Amino acid sequence: MNRIVEKLNENKKIVSIYFTAGFPELNDTVTIIKELERSGVDLIEIGLPFSDPLADGPTIQKSSTKALQNGMTTQLLFDQLANIRDHVSIPLIIMGYFNPVLQYGVEKFCAKCKEIGIDGLILPDLPLAEYQEHYQSTFEKYGLINTFLITPQTSPQRIEEIDQASNGFIYMVSSASTTGAKQGFGDEQKNYFDRIASMQLKNPQIVGFGISNNQTYQAATQQAKGAIIGSAFIKHLENHGTSNISNFVNSIR
């Protein structure tokens, strides 16, 4: 069974952490992953940096630029991760934009993920229809779970469609924003969380965007299965490097 599905079947709320590979230092990737697992994180999203991250706010943009300046490439990331399964057992997802995957070759990319022990992908700018028409069979061939996003503006009909097409979890974007933009949740988010919970979707939902501390984590996971922290963790890395990662994680849960 895919590690993501196994994790989702556990009777607990999930903390998922995103970080940009190659940031703050080029070779921090494995250290960060090991530290996150040791700190009790449930799921890790390894960000493949891209020059033009459209859905990201300034924090993740800057970390991506820095990672690329440090020399991160798709191949280097795969090389860094080559023996990662000797060290950690929690689910690992690669998150990034579609163009670097397309240039590496979609099938080659998926094969490499399987070889390393990557469990899934999140590619926000690969739309559902394109995925289903051209890439789904390849993802499935290599046992990769693809995760789609929904937002407060996504229509109920499209949410149903995305639910049908998903076989892991749904990435529930908390508000209409780029990453790291909003602080705290208002009535609008609470209504949205209620509305999605009442849809009784077959896939659990994990909330992302705007989770930065225990308060927002608690609010997001009242109904959803878990929450994703990205920009807040990047800021932690920016200020503290790879030390004290467990302090950060403990402050969330």
Partner 1 sequence: MNYNVNEKGYYGEFGGAYIPEMLYPNVEELRQQYLTITSEESFQKEFQQLLRDYVGRPTPLYFAKRFSEKYNTNVYLKREDLCHTGAHKVNNTIGQILLAKRLGKNRIIAETGAGQHGVATATVCALMGLECIVYMGEIDIQRQAPNVARMKMLGATVVPATSGSKTLKDATNEAIRDWINNPVDTHYIIGSVVGPHPYPDMVARFQSIISEETQKQLLEKEGRENPDYVVACVGGGSNAAGIYYHYLNQPEVGIIAVEAAGKGIDTGESAATSALGKMGIIHGSKTLLMQTPDGQITEPYSISAGLDYPGVGPMHANLFTSGRGEFISITDADAMKAGLELCELEGIIPAIESSHALAIFNQRKFKKDDIVVVNLSGRGDKDLNTYISYFNL
Which range, of 53-61, 137-145, 183-191, 233-241, touches partner 1 by CB under 8 A? 53-61
Asked whether position 74 contacts partner 1 by CB under 8 A, the answer is yes
Identify which of 204, 200, 211 has the alpha carbon closest to the alpha carbon of residue 173: 211
Find the shortest distance in angstroms from Cβ 165 to partner 1.
Answer: 12
- Name which position in 65, 218, 244, 251 contacts partner 1 (CB under 8 A): 65
- The residue behind tokens 């403990």 is 250
Find the shortest distance in angstroms from Cβ 39 to partner 1.
Answer: 29
d(CA 231, CA 208): 10
Q: What is the per-residue binding string for partner 1 in 148-177, x denoting contact by CB under 8 A?
A: xxxx-xxx--x--------------x--xx
DSSP 12: S
- Name which position in 26, 30, 55, 111 contacts partner 1 (CB under 8 A): 55
Catalytic status, residue 130:
no
Name the active-site residue from 28, 35, 56, 119: 56
Number of residues that bind partner 1 (CB under 8 A): 38
- Name which position in 82, 102, 197, 199 contacts partner 1 (CB under 8 A): 102
Q: Exposed, middle or buried: residue 156 (CB in 10 Å: 0-12, 13-18, 19+)?
A: exposed
Asked whether position 78 contacts partner 1 by CB under 8 A, the answer is no
Question: Which residues have C-beta within 8 Å of that of residue 12, sequence separation ≥ 6?
Answer: 42
Degrees to nearest 5, angle at CA 198 with 194 and 202: 120
Degrees to nearest 5, angle at CA 202 with 190 and 98: 85
DSSP 26: G
Query: What is the set of active-site residues?
Result: 45, 56
Where on the chain is the footprint of partner 1 (CB under 8 A)?
A: 50-52, 54-55, 57, 61, 65, 68, 73-75, 97-104, 124-127, 130, 148-151, 153-155, 158, 173, 176-178, 181
